[in-house]
Protein backbone atom coordinates (compact mmCIF):
# COMPACT_ATOMS: atom_id res chain seq x y z
CA UNK A 1 0.00 0.00 0.00
CA UNK A 2 1.35 3.42 -0.89
CA UNK A 3 1.28 6.08 1.77
CA UNK A 4 -0.76 9.19 1.00
CA UNK A 5 1.09 12.12 -0.57
CA UNK A 6 2.18 14.14 2.48
CA UNK A 7 2.10 17.34 0.47
CA UNK A 8 -0.22 17.31 -2.51
CA UNK A 9 0.31 21.06 -2.96
CA UNK A 10 3.97 20.49 -3.93
CA UNK A 11 5.19 22.86 -1.23
CA UNK A 12 7.62 20.22 0.05
CA UNK A 13 9.71 20.76 -3.04
CA UNK A 14 10.14 24.39 -2.04
CA UNK A 15 10.82 23.33 1.53
CA UNK A 16 13.45 20.92 0.20
CA UNK A 17 15.16 23.74 -1.64
CA UNK A 18 14.94 25.87 1.48
CA UNK A 19 16.47 23.02 3.46
CA UNK A 20 19.57 23.12 1.28
CA UNK A 21 20.47 26.56 2.54
CA UNK A 22 21.03 29.71 0.54
CA UNK A 23 23.58 28.32 -1.96
CA UNK A 24 21.32 25.97 -3.88
CA UNK A 25 18.53 28.54 -3.85
CA UNK A 26 20.94 31.16 -5.19
CA UNK A 27 22.13 28.90 -8.00
CA UNK A 28 18.52 28.18 -8.90
CA UNK A 29 17.66 31.89 -8.94
CA UNK A 30 20.78 32.79 -10.91
CA UNK A 31 19.99 30.16 -13.54
CA UNK A 32 16.42 31.38 -13.83
CA UNK A 33 17.55 34.99 -14.21
CA UNK A 34 20.17 33.91 -16.75
CA UNK A 35 17.56 32.13 -18.88
CA UNK A 36 15.04 34.93 -18.52
CA UNK A 37 17.07 37.44 -20.51
CA UNK A 38 17.17 34.94 -23.43
CA UNK A 39 13.41 34.50 -23.17
CA UNK A 40 12.99 38.28 -23.37
CA UNK A 41 15.30 38.42 -26.38
CA UNK A 42 13.14 35.77 -28.10
CA UNK A 43 10.06 37.87 -27.30
CA UNK A 44 11.68 40.91 -28.92
CA UNK A 45 12.74 39.11 -32.07
CA UNK A 46 9.40 37.35 -32.53
CA UNK A 47 7.63 40.71 -32.12
CA UNK A 48 9.84 42.22 -34.83
CA UNK A 49 8.99 39.30 -37.11
CA UNK A 50 5.26 39.55 -36.36
CA UNK A 51 5.30 43.27 -37.28
CA UNK A 52 7.10 42.59 -40.56
CA UNK A 53 4.67 39.80 -41.37
CA UNK A 54 1.54 41.83 -40.70
CA UNK A 55 2.82 44.85 -42.59
CA UNK A 56 3.84 42.72 -45.57
CA UNK A 57 0.49 40.92 -45.68
CA UNK A 58 -1.32 44.26 -45.72
CA UNK A 59 0.79 45.51 -48.62
CA UNK A 60 1.43 42.54 -50.92
CA UNK A 61 -0.39 39.53 -52.31
CA UNK A 62 1.28 36.82 -50.28
CA UNK A 63 2.78 36.19 -46.88
CA UNK A 64 6.58 35.84 -46.72
CA UNK A 65 6.27 33.78 -43.53
CA UNK A 66 4.66 30.38 -43.20
CA UNK A 67 5.34 29.95 -39.49
CA UNK A 68 7.70 30.95 -36.68
CA UNK A 69 9.00 28.75 -33.87
CA UNK A 70 11.22 29.59 -30.95
CA UNK A 71 13.01 27.66 -28.26
CA UNK A 72 15.22 28.19 -25.26
CA UNK A 73 18.07 25.68 -25.18
CA UNK A 74 17.42 23.05 -22.53
CA UNK A 75 19.72 22.93 -19.51
CA UNK A 76 21.12 19.55 -20.63
CA UNK A 77 21.88 20.71 -24.13
CA UNK A 78 23.32 24.00 -22.84
CA UNK A 79 25.73 22.37 -20.38
CA UNK A 80 26.70 19.69 -22.91
CA UNK A 81 27.65 22.36 -25.47
CA UNK A 82 29.41 24.52 -22.87
CA UNK A 83 31.43 21.50 -21.65
CA UNK A 84 32.36 20.64 -25.25
CA UNK A 85 33.70 24.18 -25.55
CA UNK A 86 35.44 24.02 -22.15
CA UNK A 87 33.43 26.95 -20.83
CA UNK A 88 31.09 25.45 -18.27
CA UNK A 89 32.65 26.97 -15.14
CA UNK A 90 30.61 30.15 -14.93
CA UNK A 91 27.46 31.60 -16.43
CA UNK A 92 29.51 34.44 -17.94
CA UNK A 93 31.75 31.91 -19.70
CA UNK A 94 28.69 30.01 -20.97
CA UNK A 95 27.11 33.24 -22.24
CA UNK A 96 30.35 34.10 -24.07
CA UNK A 97 30.71 30.75 -25.80
CA UNK A 98 27.16 29.52 -26.44
CA UNK A 99 25.34 31.91 -28.74
CA UNK A 100 22.31 29.79 -29.55
CA UNK A 101 20.66 29.68 -26.12
CA UNK A 102 17.81 31.68 -27.66
CA UNK A 103 16.71 30.31 -31.01
CA UNK A 104 14.08 31.52 -33.46
CA UNK A 105 13.21 29.67 -36.66
CA UNK A 106 11.33 31.42 -39.46
CA UNK A 107 9.87 29.23 -42.21
CA UNK A 108 9.05 30.92 -45.52
CA UNK A 109 7.37 29.76 -48.74
CA UNK A 110 10.09 30.91 -51.15
CA UNK A 111 13.88 31.30 -51.07
CA UNK A 112 13.54 35.02 -51.92
CA UNK A 113 11.40 35.44 -48.76
CA UNK A 114 14.27 34.04 -46.68
CA UNK A 115 16.62 36.80 -47.85
CA UNK A 116 13.89 39.43 -47.58
CA UNK A 117 13.37 38.58 -43.89
CA UNK A 118 17.13 38.69 -43.34
CA UNK A 119 17.39 42.15 -44.95
CA UNK A 120 14.41 43.60 -43.10
CA UNK A 121 15.63 42.38 -39.71
CA UNK A 122 19.31 43.14 -40.02
CA UNK A 123 18.79 46.72 -41.16
CA UNK A 124 16.94 47.61 -37.95
CA UNK A 125 19.04 49.99 -35.88
CA UNK A 126 18.89 47.97 -32.66
CA UNK A 127 19.92 44.69 -34.32
CA UNK A 128 23.61 43.82 -34.47
CA UNK A 129 24.68 40.97 -36.74
CA UNK A 130 27.35 38.83 -35.08
CA UNK A 131 27.54 36.02 -37.61
CA UNK A 132 25.99 34.84 -40.88
CA UNK A 133 26.21 31.23 -42.08
CA UNK A 134 24.53 30.81 -45.44
CA UNK A 135 23.93 27.10 -45.86
CA UNK A 136 21.60 27.89 -48.79
CA UNK A 137 24.39 29.34 -50.90
CA UNK A 138 26.75 26.73 -49.50
CA UNK A 139 24.85 23.63 -48.27
CA UNK A 140 26.39 21.24 -45.74
CA UNK A 141 27.80 17.98 -47.23
CA UNK A 142 24.66 16.09 -46.11
CA UNK A 143 22.50 18.56 -48.07
CA UNK A 144 21.34 20.68 -45.09
CA UNK A 145 20.21 24.12 -46.27
CA UNK A 146 19.16 27.07 -44.14
CA UNK A 147 20.24 30.64 -43.51
CA UNK A 148 21.68 31.04 -40.02
CA UNK A 149 22.20 34.41 -38.42
CA UNK A 150 23.41 35.20 -34.94
CA UNK A 151 22.06 38.61 -34.03
CA UNK A 152 22.22 40.61 -30.83
CA UNK A 153 19.27 42.63 -29.52
CA UNK A 154 19.04 44.94 -26.52
CA UNK A 155 16.85 43.78 -23.66
CA UNK A 156 15.78 46.68 -21.45
CA UNK A 157 15.57 45.53 -17.84
CA UNK A 158 14.58 47.66 -14.84
CA UNK A 159 18.16 48.50 -13.86
CA UNK A 160 20.23 47.84 -16.99
CA UNK A 161 20.28 46.98 -20.67
CA UNK A 162 21.54 43.57 -21.70
CA UNK A 163 22.69 42.83 -25.25
CA UNK A 164 21.54 39.29 -25.87
CA UNK A 165 22.43 36.98 -28.77
CA UNK A 166 19.69 35.10 -30.64
CA UNK A 167 20.27 32.43 -33.28
CA UNK A 168 17.92 32.89 -36.22
CA UNK A 169 17.36 30.07 -38.67
CA UNK A 170 15.48 31.18 -41.78
CA UNK A 171 14.52 28.53 -44.31
CA UNK A 172 11.85 27.47 -46.79
CA UNK A 173 9.09 24.94 -46.13
CA UNK A 174 10.99 22.38 -48.25
CA UNK A 175 14.23 22.96 -46.31
CA UNK A 176 12.33 22.71 -43.03
CA UNK A 177 10.59 19.49 -44.03
CA UNK A 178 13.92 17.90 -44.93
CA UNK A 179 15.65 19.11 -41.73
CA UNK A 180 12.83 17.84 -39.50
CA UNK A 181 12.87 14.36 -41.04
CA UNK A 182 16.68 14.21 -41.03
CA UNK A 183 16.79 15.32 -37.38
CA UNK A 184 14.21 12.68 -36.41
CA UNK A 185 16.19 9.94 -38.19
CA UNK A 186 19.45 10.95 -36.49
CA UNK A 187 17.67 11.02 -33.15
CA UNK A 188 16.21 7.54 -33.75
CA UNK A 189 19.55 6.05 -34.78
CA UNK A 190 21.47 7.94 -32.11
CA UNK A 191 23.69 9.47 -34.87
CA UNK A 192 24.78 6.06 -36.26
CA UNK A 193 22.62 6.22 -39.39
CA UNK A 194 23.12 3.42 -41.95
CA UNK A 195 25.07 4.53 -45.03
CA UNK A 196 22.20 3.88 -47.45
CA UNK A 197 19.90 6.11 -45.41
CA UNK A 198 22.51 8.89 -45.40
CA UNK A 199 22.68 8.68 -49.20
CA UNK A 200 18.88 8.72 -49.47
CA UNK A 201 18.74 11.78 -47.26
CA UNK A 202 21.34 13.64 -49.32
CA UNK A 203 19.40 12.77 -52.44
CA UNK A 204 16.16 13.98 -50.82
CA UNK A 205 17.91 17.27 -49.99
CA UNK A 206 18.67 17.72 -53.70
CA UNK A 207 15.00 17.08 -54.52
CA UNK A 208 13.95 19.66 -51.89
CA UNK A 209 16.33 22.21 -53.45
CA UNK A 210 14.89 21.43 -56.88
CA UNK A 211 11.36 21.86 -55.54
CA UNK A 212 12.26 25.31 -54.18
CA UNK A 213 13.64 26.25 -57.57
CA UNK A 214 10.58 25.00 -59.47
CA UNK A 215 8.14 26.70 -57.12
CA UNK A 216 9.98 30.00 -57.65
CA UNK A 217 9.73 29.52 -61.43
CA UNK A 218 6.03 28.69 -61.15
CA UNK A 219 5.41 31.83 -59.13
CA UNK A 220 7.25 33.94 -61.69
CA UNK A 221 5.16 32.39 -64.48
CA UNK A 222 1.91 33.04 -62.62
CA UNK A 223 2.95 36.63 -61.94
CA UNK A 224 3.63 37.12 -65.65
CA UNK A 225 0.15 35.88 -66.64
CA UNK A 226 -2.41 38.46 -67.72
CA UNK A 227 -5.59 37.39 -65.95
CA UNK A 228 -8.53 38.13 -68.29
CA UNK A 229 -11.19 40.43 -66.84
CA UNK A 230 -14.91 39.98 -67.51
- The piece of 47-55, 140-148, 192-200, 209-217 that touches ligand 0O2 (CB under 6 A) is 140-148
Min. distance of Cβ 118 from ligand 0O2 in angstroms?
15
Q: Strand 147-156 vs strand 128-134: parallel, antiparallel, or unpaired?
A: antiparallel
Min. distance of Cβ 54 from ligand 0O2 in angstroms?
27
Q: Of 44, 100, 176, 212, which lies in the binding site for ligand 0O2, with binding defined by CB under 6 A?
A: 100
Min. distance of Cβ 170 from ligand 0O2 in angstroms?
12
Catalytic residue among 119, 167, 200, 221: 167
- Alpha carbon 98 to chain centroid, angstroms: 14
Residue closest to ligand 0O2 when measured from CB atoms: 144
| CA dist list (Å): 133 to 92, 143, 150, 170 | 25, 15, 9, 11
2 to 61, contacts with ligand 0O2 by CB under 6 A?
A: none
For residue 119, give the nearest of 219, 52, 46 by alpha carbon. Answer: 52
Q: Of 82, 102, 103, 109, which lies in the binding site for ligand 0O2, with binding defined by CB under 6 A?
A: 103
The Cβ of residue 130 has, within 10 Å, a number of other Cβ atoms equal to 13
Q: Can residue 176 be called a binding residue for ligand 0O2 (CB under 6 A)?
A: no
Q: How many residues does the chain have?
A: 230
Q: Strand 161-172 vs strand 102-108: parallel, antiparallel, or unpaired?
A: parallel
Q: Can residue 179 be called a binding residue for ligand 0O2 (CB under 6 A)?
A: yes
**Taking a C-beta distance cutoff of 8 angstroms, is the pair 149, 167 a contact?**
yes
Query: Which positions touch ligand 0O2 (CB under 6 A)?
Result: 81, 100, 103, 133, 140, 142, 144, 148, 179, 182-183
Just list the catalytic residues: 167
Amino acid sequence: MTSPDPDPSGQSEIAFLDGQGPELRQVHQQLNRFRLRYKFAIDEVTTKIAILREEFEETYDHSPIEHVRSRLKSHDSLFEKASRRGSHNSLDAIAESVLDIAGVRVVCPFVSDVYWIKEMLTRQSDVTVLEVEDYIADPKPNGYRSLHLTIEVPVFLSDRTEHVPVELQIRTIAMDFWASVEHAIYYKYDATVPHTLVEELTDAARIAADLDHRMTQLREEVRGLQVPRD
